[in-house]
A and B are shown apart, each in its own frame.
Chain A
Amino acid sequence: LLNMRERERIYRAAAFVVVLASGATAVALLPVGPFYPAPSFPAFTASPLRDGVVTFTRPVIVVEFDDGEEHIDYRGLLPAGSPNPIGVFRSIAAEADSALDPATAAWLMQRLTELHPGREALSLRIDWTRYRFRAEDRGLISAETSESFVIPLDRP
């Protein structure tokens, strides 16, 4: 049986090993994604600026209402207090499986009804657009749609 002092020594060593091991696990799993919870601070990987050109992808949302089309900001669709709006919106609508899921359509319908009372939304198009800007004068070089989803919002 270990006495109290020996037990303390084991606890101390184990605690240091746990912290180092969790850091190693977080590093090992980086290719899969950020492990949570893990001792890690934000990484801000993959520089958007290379050779003087800034590149990033954002969704352009076009809603077809019963009285015409309208561009809306994807951030407006998210609930108040959403951290990192683009990350949250990507989790919902970056892949066809989730973007075209009926649950996503129902949520969009509900949000559009709240945001635009009195208007009927018929469909919503998400154009994932890859932007390229010059860093020096912030001039737009190109904006290309890499993927597009049309989500029908017809009422049942």
Chain B
Amino acid sequence: MTDEITIRPATPGDAGAIFHQRRAMFEDVFGALGPDDAATMETTFIPWVRRGLTDGSYRGWLACNGDGHVVAGGGLIVHEWMASPLHPDPRRAYMANVYTEPAYRRRGIARRIVDTIVAWCRTEGLKVVWLHASPFGRPLYESLGFEPTNEMRLRLG
């Protein structure tokens, strides 16, 4: 293992690695997934993210160690949104799947990933980035200027 961490854009071939990170992210927050839930999420998420990485509707960034192994990552979806007085541009960027392997935590890698994603948003002229933070991620997002919102949610059906 070397300490030299580089960040690169994800490609469709990274779909499996992103699924691994997403599953591990949920398990960190909610506990282990049952085998059925894990299998269903795998068969749902991997084709979804592979298609998104292919057509650009999902963008990912991965942090790799000196051996080229993926050790952290994050992703972004751009949504259409109605204009508001503060933001006439009908686009909002939603950040997801920010995750670091346990052995690589406390080194600022997630911060580098999030900085990379926010910088990409600025380059694209995206004015608003939003996300749902885990308890682990919240201090990082607060330190970067993210603020809590007035969101409410309903489970249908």
Is B one of A's binding partners? Answer: no
